[in-house]
Amino acid sequence: MKKLLQLHEWLKKADSDFLVFSQTICPYCDLAERTLRTNNHSFRVVNLDYEGELRSKIVKETGHRTVPMIFDLRGSNPIFVGGSDNLLDYL
Q: What does the domain layout of the chain look like in residue ranges?
A: 7-90
We find that the CATH architecture of domain 7-90 is 3-Layer(aba) Sandwich (3.40)
* Amino acid 40: pLDDT: 97
Tell me the whole-structure pTM to 2 decimals.
0.88
Report how far residue 10's alpha carbon sits from residue 53's, in angstroms, rounded to the nearest whole number. 14
Please list the pLDDT of the chain residue by residue as tens digits (91 residues).
334 446 666 677 768 899 999 999 999 999 999 999 999 999 999 999 988 788 888 898 889 999 999 999 998 888 899 999 999 999 9
Chain centroid, CA 61 distance in Å? 13
* Amino acid 2: pLDDT: 39
